[in-house]
Amino acid sequence: MSKGLLVFSTLFLLVFFAGCKVQYVPVEHTEYVHTIDSVYFRDTTIQYKIEKEYVRDYTGLLDTLDMETSYASARAWVDTSKATLSGEIRNKENVINIPVSVKEKVTVRDSIVYQDRPVPVEVIKTVHPGYEKYLWGWLVLSVVGLGVFVYLWGKHKHIW
């Protein structure tokens, strides 16, 4: 059992003191977006209904009065059989076309494309003192000596 303990403790100490360093290389994601902007002028026509115009005129008592603007026509007369003044006015269906130039902006955006590229990383080197290798040697010799001591103590208990 002491031989297994010696092997186990030696392996444990080797794994414990053996350091593994994993170098991580970061990856930078570059995003490419293709955007197309265009501005163009489109000629169009706006339709606008104009308001009524005002016209004033007069005539003799028995005449018919006709008045007309570019958007309406009116007629007034005296009805002698009924002794009344009658009249009518009608709007003309006119639409004014106003030419207008409209500025439109169109933006088309394509899909986003990701491209991975490695980024250089500054490696930090650790400077070890010159006597460090002697300390490691002393550690290894101490562990081996401890293992030998435990082995001999377990095998020759009756001596001590």
- Over residues 140-158, the pLDDT tens digits come to 999 999 999 888 887 776 6
Phi and psi, residue 40, nearest 5°? -140, 155
Structure confidence at residue 135 (pLDDT): 94
Structure confidence at residue 26 (pLDDT): 64
Token pair in block for residue 138: 């002393």
Q: What is the dihedral of CA 101, 102, 103, 108, to 10 degrees?
A: -130
Token pair in block for residue 106: 């169109």
DSSP calls for 78-141: EETTTTEEEEEEEE----EEEEEEEEEEEEEE---EEEEEE---PPPPPPPPTTHHHHHHHHHH
Full-model pTM: 0.29
Kindly state the average pLDDT of the residues 61-77.
Answer: 84
Phi and psi, residue 22, nearest 5°? -105, 125
Higher pLDDT, 42 or 137: 137
User: How many C-beta atoms surround the C-beta of residue 144 within 10 A?
Assistant: 13
- For the chain, which residues make up each domain, given as ranges? 1-23+123-160
* pLDDT per residue as tens digits for the range 88-108: 988 888 777 777 777 777 777
